[in-house]
Structure 1
Amino acid sequence: MAEQGSAVEHAQRAGQQRAAKEQAPGKQRESGEQQAGQQRQAAQPSQQRQQEQQAQQEQQAREAAWPGSGPPAAAQSAAQRVVFVGAESTGKSTLAEYLARVYDSVSVPEIGRFIWEQKQGKLDADDYVDIALKHRQAEDEAMQRARRWLFVDTNALTTLLLGLQFGQVTPPAPAELLRCADECAARYAHTFVCADDIPYEEQEVRENEAWRGRIQRLVLQDLEARGIPYTIVRGSVEERAAQVMGVLDARPPA
Structure 2
Amino acid sequence: MEIGEKIVKIAVVGPESTGKSTISQLLAEHYNTVWVPEYAREYCSRLTEPCSWQDEINMFRGQLQLEESLATQANKLLICDTTFLTVKIWSDYMFGKTPEEVLEMLPQHTYDLYLLMDIDLPWEDDPLRDFPHLRGYFMEIWHNELAALHARYTVISGSTNERLQNAVQAVNNYLNII
Q: CA deviation at 1:75?
A: 8.2
Alpha-carbon displacement from aligned partner over 1:34-61 (angstroms, at most 9, x marks no partner): xxxxxxxxxxxxxxxxxxxxxxxxxxxx
Runs (4 or more) in structure 1 with deviation over 3 Å come to none
- Counterpart of 2:18 (choices 78, 90, 93) is 90
Aligned to 1:102: 30
Q: Is the 8 A contact 2:38 2:82 kept in 1?
A: yes
- Counterpart of 1:234 (choices 150, 157, 174) is 157
Where do residues 139-154 of structure 1 align in structure 2 (5 Å cutoff)?
139-154=67-82
Alpha-carbon displacement from aligned partner over 1:101-156 (angstroms, at most 9, x marks no partner): 11111111110111122114622222212111111111111111111211101112
Q: CA deviation at 1:246?
A: 1.6
Q: Is the 8 A contact 2:41 2:128 kept in 1?
A: no
Change in Cα spacing, 1:209 to 1:75, as seen in structure 2 (3 Å) is farther
- Counterpart of 1:211 (choices 129, 134, 145) is 134
Aligned to 1:39: none
Change in Cα spacing, 1:182 to 1:78, as seen in structure 2 (3 Å) is closer
Q: CA deviation at 1:94?
A: 0.3
Alpha-carbon displacement from aligned partner over 1:137-187 (angstroms, at most 9, x marks no partner): 1111111111121110111211111122122xx43x332121233334xx2
Aligned to 2:166: 243
Structure 2 residue 89 is matched with structure 1 residue 166: no
Instruction: Name the amino acid aligned to 1:175.
Output: E
238-247 or 197-206, which moves further after superposition?
238-247
Q: Is the 8 A contact 1:75 1:145 kept in 2?
A: no
Aligned to 2:100: 175
**Distance between the aligned counterparts of 1:80 and 1:202, measured in 2?**
33
83-92 or 242-251, which moves further after superposition?
242-251
Give % identity. Answer: 25
Structure 2 residue runs without a partner (length 5+): none
Instruction: Name the amino acid aligned to 1:183.
Output: Q
Secondary structure of the structure 2 residue equivalent to 1:198: coil
Work out the number of aligned pairs and report it. 177
Q: CA deviation at 1:92?
A: 0.3
**Distance between the aligned counterparts of 2:135 and 2:3, measured in 1?**
36
Alpha-carbon displacement from aligned partner over 1:67-106 (angstroms, at most 9, x marks no partner): xxxxxx4288242110011001000000000111111111
- Counterpart of 2:146 (choices 214, 219, 223) is 223
**Distance between the aligned counterparts of 2:81 and 2:11, measured in 1?**
6
Secondary structure of the structure 1 residue equivalent to 2:127: coil
142-151 or 238-247, which moves further after superposition?
238-247
Q: Is the 8 A contact 1:132 1:180 kept in 2?
A: no
Q: Is the 8 A contact 2:16 2:131 kept in 1?
A: no
Aligned to 1:190: 113
Q: Is the 8 A contact 2:59 2:87 kept in 1?
A: yes
Where do residues 33-182 of structure 1 align in structure 2 (5 Å cutoff)?
73-74=1-2, 77-120=5-48, 122-167=50-95, 170-171=96-97, 173-182=98-107
Alpha-carbon displacement from aligned partner over 1:191-227 (angstroms, at most 9, x marks no partner): 1100011110112221243222221221112212332
Change in Cα spacing, 1:95 to 1:175, as seen in structure 2 (3 Å) is same
**Distance between the aligned counterparts of 1:131 and 1:87, measured in 2?**
17
